[in-house]
Amino acid sequence: MLATTVVVGTTFGIVARQSGRDPLETVGMSLIVFAGAAQFAMLQLFAAGAALPLVIGTVLLINARHLLMAASLRPRLGRLPLVSRLAAAYVLTDESFAMATGWYRRGGTGTGYYATFAVALFALWNCATLVGLTVGGAIGEPRRLGIDFAITATFIGIVVLAVRRGSDVVVALAAAAVASALALAGASSVAVLTAGALAPVIAAARR
Amino acid sequence: MIWAAILGSGLATYLTRSLPFVVGYRGRVPPALSRYLEALPVAIIAALVGPAVVLPAGATTHGAEPVAALVTVGIVVWRRSLLAGVAAGVATVAVVRLVL
Protein backbone atom coordinates (compact mmCIF):
# COMPACT_ATOMS: atom_id res chain seq x y z
CA MET A 1 0.00 0.00 0.00
CA LEU A 2 2.73 2.46 1.01
CA ALA A 3 5.03 1.31 -1.82
CA THR A 4 2.21 1.71 -4.38
CA THR A 5 1.59 5.25 -3.15
CA VAL A 6 5.25 6.13 -3.63
CA VAL A 7 5.41 4.58 -7.12
CA VAL A 8 2.19 6.16 -8.38
CA GLY A 9 2.97 9.53 -6.75
CA THR A 10 6.41 9.59 -8.38
CA THR A 11 4.88 8.62 -11.72
CA PHE A 12 2.42 11.49 -11.31
CA GLY A 13 5.22 13.99 -10.72
CA ILE A 14 7.14 12.77 -13.77
CA VAL A 15 4.12 12.73 -16.07
CA ALA A 16 2.86 16.13 -14.83
CA ARG A 17 6.20 17.73 -15.57
CA GLN A 18 6.40 16.06 -18.99
CA SER A 19 2.86 17.09 -19.91
CA GLY A 20 3.67 20.74 -19.37
CA ARG A 21 2.43 21.50 -15.83
CA ASP A 22 4.75 23.72 -13.82
CA PRO A 23 6.05 22.50 -10.43
CA LEU A 24 3.70 24.75 -8.42
CA GLU A 25 0.59 23.47 -10.25
CA THR A 26 1.76 19.89 -9.81
CA VAL A 27 2.37 20.28 -6.08
CA GLY A 28 -0.94 22.16 -5.80
CA MET A 29 -2.80 19.23 -7.35
CA SER A 30 -1.28 16.72 -4.94
CA LEU A 31 -1.93 18.98 -1.92
CA ILE A 32 -5.41 20.23 -2.83
CA VAL A 33 -7.01 17.46 -4.88
CA PHE A 34 -5.04 14.54 -3.38
CA ALA A 35 -6.69 11.79 -5.49
CA GLY A 36 -4.48 9.69 -7.76
CA ALA A 37 -6.72 8.69 -10.64
CA ALA A 38 -8.43 12.08 -10.73
CA GLN A 39 -5.08 13.89 -10.84
CA PHE A 40 -3.94 11.83 -13.83
CA ALA A 41 -7.28 12.49 -15.52
CA MET A 42 -6.78 16.24 -14.94
CA LEU A 43 -3.36 16.08 -16.64
CA GLN A 44 -4.90 14.46 -19.68
CA LEU A 45 -7.80 16.96 -19.80
CA PHE A 46 -5.43 19.93 -19.36
CA ALA A 47 -3.25 18.62 -22.21
CA ALA A 48 -6.37 18.32 -24.39
CA GLY A 49 -7.43 21.89 -23.51
CA ALA A 50 -10.68 20.75 -21.87
CA ALA A 51 -13.06 23.39 -20.48
CA LEU A 52 -13.28 24.07 -16.74
CA PRO A 53 -16.70 22.42 -16.08
CA LEU A 54 -15.53 19.31 -17.95
CA VAL A 55 -12.45 18.96 -15.74
CA ILE A 56 -14.37 19.46 -12.49
CA GLY A 57 -17.26 17.22 -13.66
CA THR A 58 -14.88 14.39 -14.54
CA VAL A 59 -13.08 14.68 -11.20
CA LEU A 60 -16.43 14.72 -9.37
CA LEU A 61 -17.57 11.50 -11.07
CA ILE A 62 -14.24 9.71 -10.52
CA ASN A 63 -14.33 10.65 -6.83
CA ALA A 64 -18.05 10.13 -6.15
CA ARG A 65 -17.12 6.73 -4.67
CA HIS A 66 -15.76 8.57 -1.60
CA LEU A 67 -19.38 9.15 -0.57
CA LEU A 68 -19.73 5.39 -0.01
CA MET A 69 -16.43 5.07 1.84
CA ALA A 70 -17.16 8.04 4.10
CA ALA A 71 -20.64 6.68 4.82
CA SER A 72 -19.08 3.34 5.73
CA LEU A 73 -16.55 4.95 8.13
CA ARG A 74 -19.13 7.27 9.69
CA PRO A 75 -20.12 4.89 12.53
CA ARG A 76 -16.42 4.74 13.57
CA LEU A 77 -15.43 8.38 13.08
CA GLY A 78 -18.82 10.08 13.40
CA ARG A 79 -18.49 10.82 17.12
CA LEU A 80 -15.38 12.95 16.70
CA PRO A 81 -15.73 16.74 16.98
CA LEU A 82 -16.70 18.41 13.71
CA VAL A 83 -13.21 19.83 13.08
CA SER A 84 -11.65 16.37 13.48
CA ARG A 85 -14.26 14.84 11.18
CA LEU A 86 -13.52 17.49 8.54
CA ALA A 87 -9.79 16.74 8.86
CA ALA A 88 -10.41 12.98 8.67
CA ALA A 89 -12.43 13.53 5.49
CA TYR A 90 -9.57 15.45 3.82
CA VAL A 91 -7.27 12.41 3.96
CA LEU A 92 -9.90 9.81 3.00
CA THR A 93 -8.61 7.78 0.04
CA ASP A 94 -9.11 4.27 -1.35
CA GLU A 95 -5.94 3.28 0.50
CA SER A 96 -6.70 4.83 3.91
CA PHE A 97 -10.25 3.46 3.68
CA ALA A 98 -8.98 -0.05 2.90
CA MET A 99 -6.46 0.03 5.75
CA ALA A 100 -8.97 1.38 8.29
CA THR A 101 -11.64 -1.11 7.22
CA GLY A 102 -9.16 -3.98 7.61
CA TRP A 103 -8.20 -2.67 11.08
CA TYR A 104 -11.80 -2.48 12.30
CA ARG A 105 -12.60 -5.94 10.85
CA ARG A 106 -9.68 -7.38 12.83
CA GLY A 107 -11.29 -5.97 15.96
CA GLY A 108 -9.43 -2.67 16.16
CA THR A 109 -11.09 0.34 17.71
CA GLY A 110 -10.50 4.07 17.99
CA THR A 111 -9.41 6.58 15.41
CA GLY A 112 -5.63 6.60 15.87
CA TYR A 113 -4.95 3.87 13.30
CA TYR A 114 -6.93 5.63 10.58
CA ALA A 115 -5.44 9.03 11.40
CA THR A 116 -1.86 7.73 11.40
CA PHE A 117 -2.08 5.89 8.09
CA ALA A 118 -4.22 8.47 6.31
CA VAL A 119 -1.82 11.31 7.22
CA ALA A 120 1.23 9.14 6.39
CA LEU A 121 -0.24 8.41 2.94
CA PHE A 122 -0.87 12.13 2.39
CA ALA A 123 2.73 12.95 3.30
CA LEU A 124 4.11 10.10 1.16
CA TRP A 125 1.98 11.09 -1.85
CA ASN A 126 3.24 14.66 -1.72
CA CYS A 127 6.88 13.68 -1.16
CA ALA A 128 6.64 11.23 -4.06
CA THR A 129 5.18 13.99 -6.25
CA LEU A 130 8.23 16.15 -5.47
CA VAL A 131 10.59 13.29 -6.33
CA GLY A 132 8.73 12.73 -9.60
CA LEU A 133 8.95 16.43 -10.46
CA THR A 134 12.71 16.34 -10.03
CA VAL A 135 13.11 13.17 -12.08
CA GLY A 136 10.66 14.41 -14.73
CA GLY A 137 12.59 17.65 -15.17
CA ALA A 138 15.72 15.68 -15.98
CA ILE A 139 14.23 13.64 -18.84
CA GLY A 140 14.81 15.12 -22.29
CA GLU A 141 12.93 14.37 -25.53
CA PRO A 142 9.87 12.88 -23.81
CA ARG A 143 7.99 12.03 -27.03
CA ARG A 144 10.83 10.00 -28.52
CA LEU A 145 11.00 7.98 -25.30
CA GLY A 146 7.22 7.34 -25.38
CA ILE A 147 6.67 9.26 -22.12
CA ASP A 148 3.50 10.84 -23.55
CA PHE A 149 1.96 7.34 -23.38
CA ALA A 150 2.62 7.08 -19.62
CA ILE A 151 -0.74 8.62 -18.58
CA THR A 152 -2.69 6.23 -20.83
CA ALA A 153 -0.64 3.28 -19.60
CA THR A 154 -1.24 4.34 -15.99
CA PHE A 155 -5.00 4.47 -16.63
CA ILE A 156 -4.92 1.01 -18.22
CA GLY A 157 -3.06 -0.33 -15.18
CA ILE A 158 -5.50 1.29 -12.74
CA VAL A 159 -8.48 -0.21 -14.60
CA VAL A 160 -6.96 -3.70 -14.88
CA LEU A 161 -6.01 -3.76 -11.18
CA ALA A 162 -9.48 -2.48 -10.18
CA VAL A 163 -11.30 -5.35 -11.91
CA ARG A 164 -12.99 -7.51 -9.28
CA ARG A 165 -15.68 -9.31 -11.27
CA GLY A 166 -16.88 -9.96 -14.80
CA SER A 167 -19.19 -6.96 -14.85
CA ASP A 168 -16.21 -4.65 -14.20
CA VAL A 169 -14.66 -5.85 -17.48
CA VAL A 170 -17.93 -5.26 -19.33
CA VAL A 171 -18.28 -1.76 -17.81
CA ALA A 172 -14.68 -0.86 -18.70
CA LEU A 173 -14.92 -2.13 -22.30
CA ALA A 174 -18.30 -0.45 -22.82
CA ALA A 175 -17.01 2.88 -21.47
CA ALA A 176 -13.86 2.73 -23.63
CA ALA A 177 -15.84 1.75 -26.76
CA VAL A 178 -18.53 4.44 -26.34
CA ALA A 179 -15.95 7.14 -25.57
CA SER A 180 -13.85 6.14 -28.59
CA ALA A 181 -16.89 6.12 -30.88
CA LEU A 182 -17.95 9.59 -29.66
CA ALA A 183 -14.41 10.92 -30.05
CA LEU A 184 -14.11 9.50 -33.58
CA ALA A 185 -17.50 11.05 -34.39
CA GLY A 186 -16.09 14.44 -33.39
CA ALA A 187 -17.71 14.74 -29.96
CA SER A 188 -14.44 14.56 -28.00
CA SER A 189 -15.49 17.14 -25.43
CA VAL A 190 -18.44 15.13 -24.07
CA ALA A 191 -17.08 11.65 -24.87
CA VAL A 192 -15.53 10.86 -21.49
CA LEU A 193 -18.31 12.15 -19.24
CA THR A 194 -21.08 10.59 -21.36
CA ALA A 195 -19.44 7.18 -21.64
CA GLY A 196 -18.24 7.27 -18.03
CA ALA A 197 -21.67 8.12 -16.63
CA LEU A 198 -23.56 5.62 -18.83
CA ALA A 199 -21.40 2.49 -18.54
CA PRO A 200 -21.86 1.97 -14.75
CA VAL A 201 -25.59 1.45 -15.40
CA ILE A 202 -24.49 -2.05 -16.48
CA ALA A 203 -23.10 -2.63 -12.98
CA ALA A 204 -26.16 -1.08 -11.31
CA ALA A 205 -28.43 -3.45 -13.28
CA ARG A 206 -26.37 -6.49 -12.21
CA ARG A 207 -28.29 -8.90 -9.99
CA MET B 1 -7.85 28.36 -15.80
CA ILE B 2 -5.46 25.65 -14.52
CA TRP B 3 -5.64 26.98 -10.96
CA ALA B 4 -9.42 27.44 -11.14
CA ALA B 5 -9.65 23.79 -12.23
CA ILE B 6 -7.33 22.66 -9.42
CA LEU B 7 -9.28 24.57 -6.75
CA GLY B 8 -12.66 23.52 -8.21
CA SER B 9 -11.58 19.88 -8.46
CA GLY B 10 -10.22 20.01 -4.91
CA LEU B 11 -13.52 21.38 -3.63
CA ALA B 12 -15.56 18.81 -5.58
CA THR B 13 -13.36 16.00 -4.24
CA TYR B 14 -13.55 17.29 -0.68
CA LEU B 15 -17.35 17.42 -0.87
CA THR B 16 -17.45 13.70 -1.80
CA ARG B 17 -15.17 12.93 1.16
CA SER B 18 -16.80 15.12 3.79
CA LEU B 19 -20.56 15.14 3.12
CA PRO B 20 -21.35 11.82 4.86
CA PHE B 21 -19.34 12.98 7.90
CA VAL B 22 -21.30 16.22 8.18
CA VAL B 23 -24.81 15.55 6.93
CA GLY B 24 -26.89 13.15 8.99
CA TYR B 25 -29.13 10.68 7.19
CA ARG B 26 -31.13 7.61 7.95
CA GLY B 27 -31.42 4.36 6.08
CA ARG B 28 -29.08 2.58 3.71
CA VAL B 29 -27.77 3.38 0.26
CA PRO B 30 -29.84 1.40 -2.31
CA PRO B 31 -27.68 -1.50 -3.58
CA ALA B 32 -28.11 -0.48 -7.24
CA LEU B 33 -26.86 3.07 -6.47
CA SER B 34 -23.98 1.63 -4.49
CA ARG B 35 -22.99 -0.60 -7.43
CA TYR B 36 -23.27 2.40 -9.80
CA LEU B 37 -20.99 4.55 -7.65
CA GLU B 38 -18.48 1.72 -7.22
CA ALA B 39 -18.29 1.19 -10.98
CA LEU B 40 -17.92 4.92 -11.80
CA PRO B 41 -14.13 5.30 -11.42
CA VAL B 42 -13.36 2.29 -13.64
CA ALA B 43 -15.84 3.55 -16.25
CA ILE B 44 -14.50 7.13 -16.33
CA ILE B 45 -10.88 6.03 -16.46
CA ALA B 46 -11.64 3.45 -19.17
CA ALA B 47 -13.48 6.21 -21.06
CA LEU B 48 -10.30 8.31 -20.88
CA VAL B 49 -8.27 5.37 -22.23
CA GLY B 50 -10.44 4.72 -25.32
CA PRO B 51 -9.93 8.02 -27.18
CA ALA B 52 -6.30 8.26 -25.98
CA VAL B 53 -5.58 4.93 -27.70
CA VAL B 54 -7.51 5.35 -30.96
CA LEU B 55 -7.08 9.15 -31.30
CA PRO B 56 -3.99 10.25 -29.33
CA ALA B 57 -3.08 13.94 -29.66
CA GLY B 58 -1.65 14.32 -33.15
CA ALA B 59 -2.90 10.91 -34.41
CA THR B 60 -1.44 7.47 -33.65
CA THR B 61 2.24 7.10 -34.41
CA HIS B 62 2.24 4.12 -36.80
CA GLY B 63 -0.31 2.33 -34.62
CA ALA B 64 2.05 2.39 -31.65
CA GLU B 65 -0.62 3.32 -29.08
CA PRO B 66 -3.10 0.45 -29.70
CA VAL B 67 -0.25 -2.10 -29.67
CA ALA B 68 1.21 -0.56 -26.51
CA ALA B 69 -2.23 -0.60 -24.85
CA LEU B 70 -2.53 -4.36 -25.43
CA VAL B 71 1.02 -4.90 -24.14
CA THR B 72 0.19 -2.86 -21.01
CA VAL B 73 -2.97 -4.89 -20.33
CA GLY B 74 -1.04 -8.13 -20.76
CA ILE B 75 1.82 -7.14 -18.47
CA VAL B 76 -0.45 -5.79 -15.70
CA VAL B 77 -2.64 -8.91 -15.80
CA TRP B 78 0.47 -11.09 -15.69
CA ARG B 79 2.62 -9.21 -13.15
CA ARG B 80 -0.18 -7.41 -11.19
CA SER B 81 2.16 -4.40 -11.22
CA LEU B 82 1.23 -0.89 -12.33
CA LEU B 83 4.85 0.14 -12.73
CA ALA B 84 5.76 -2.89 -14.87
CA GLY B 85 2.75 -2.21 -17.10
CA VAL B 86 3.55 1.49 -17.55
CA ALA B 87 7.22 0.70 -18.27
CA ALA B 88 6.25 -1.93 -20.86
CA GLY B 89 3.69 0.36 -22.51
CA VAL B 90 6.04 3.33 -22.70
CA ALA B 91 8.87 1.12 -24.00
CA THR B 92 6.58 -0.33 -26.69
CA VAL B 93 5.65 3.16 -27.94
CA ALA B 94 9.32 4.21 -27.92
CA VAL B 95 10.43 1.10 -29.83
CA VAL B 96 7.68 1.41 -32.49
CA ARG B 97 8.55 5.09 -33.02
CA LEU B 98 12.24 4.24 -33.25
CA VAL B 99 11.79 1.40 -35.75
CA LEU B 100 9.07 2.84 -38.03
pLDDT in tens, B65-94: 999 999 999 999 999 988 899 999 999 998
Residue A124 lies in a domain: yes
Contacts A–B by Cβ distance under 8 A: 292
Q: Which of A149, A171, A197 is the last residue of a domain?
A: A149
Do A92 and A176 lie in one domain? The reply is no
Name the residue among B80, B44, B22 with its Cα closest to residue A160: B80
Question: What DSSP assignment string belongs to B16-69?
Answer: HHHHHHHS---S---HHHHHHHHHHHHHHHHHHHHHHHHS-TT--STTHHHHHH
What CA–CA distances, in Å, run from B39 to A4, A96, A181?
22, 19, 21
Do A102 and A189 lie in one domain? The reply is no
- Residues in chain B closer than 8 A to A15 (CB atoms): none
The pLDDT tens digits of the residues spanning A131-148 come to 999 988 887 766 677 777
Do A91 and A191 lie in one domain? The reply is no
Q: Which amino acid is at B85?
A: G
CB-nearest to A67 from B1, B20, B76 is B20
Collect all residues with Cβ–Cβ distance below 8 Å to A164 and sequence separation of at least 6.
none
- Residues in chain B closer than 8 A to A182 (CB atoms): 51
Would you say A204 and A65 are in contact if contact means Cβ atoms under 8 Å apart? no
Residue A158 lies in a domain: no
Domain of residue A184 covers 163-207
pLDDT band at A59 (very low <50, low <70, confident <90, very high): very high
Dist CA A23 CA A41 (whole Å): 17
pLDDT band at A169 (very low <50, low <70, confident <90, very high): very high
Would you say A153 and A33 are in contact if contact means Cβ atoms under 8 Å apart? no
The pLDDT tens digits of the residues spanning A89-130 come to 999 998 899 889 989 989 888 899 999 999 999 999 999 999
Do A173 and A127 lie in one domain? The reply is no
User: Which pLDDT belongs to residue A207?
Assistant: 67
Do A31 and A123 lie in one domain? The reply is yes
Would you say A144 and B38 are in contact if contact means Cβ atoms under 8 Å apart? no
Do A88 and A136 lie in one domain? The reply is yes
Residue A130, burial from CB neighbour count under 10 angstroms (0-12, 13-18, 19+): middle
Residue A43 lies in a domain: yes
**SS3 of residue A22 by DSSP:** coil
Cβ separation A65–B72 shorter than 8 A: no
**Chain B neighbours among A 12-41 (CB < 8 Å)?**
21, 25, 28-29, 32-35, 37-38, 41
* CA A106 to the chain's CA centroid: 27
Do A1 and A26 lie in one domain? The reply is yes
Do A84 and A31 lie in one domain? The reply is yes
Mean pLDDT of chain A: 90
CB-nearest to B36 from A74, A92, A203 is A203
Largest CA distance in chain A: 54
Do A143 and A206 lie in one domain? The reply is no
CB-nearest to B49 from A65, A167, A176 is A176
**How many CB atoms within 10 Å of residue A205?**
11
Do A120 and A178 lie in one domain? The reply is no
Cβ separation A52–B8 shorter than 8 A: yes
* CA A129 to the chain's CA centroid: 14
Do A10 and A87 lie in one domain? The reply is yes
Residue A184 lies in a domain: yes
User: Which pLDDT belongs to residue B58?
Assistant: 57
Please tell me what DSSP assigns to residue A145: T
User: Which pLDDT belongs to residue A33?
Assistant: 97
Q: How far is B95 from chain A (nearest CA, A)?
A: 8
pLDDT band at A63 (very low <50, low <70, confident <90, very high): very high
Residue A154 lies in a domain: no
Do A3 and A64 lie in one domain? The reply is yes
- Residues in chain A closer than 8 A to B8 (CB atoms): 52, 55-56
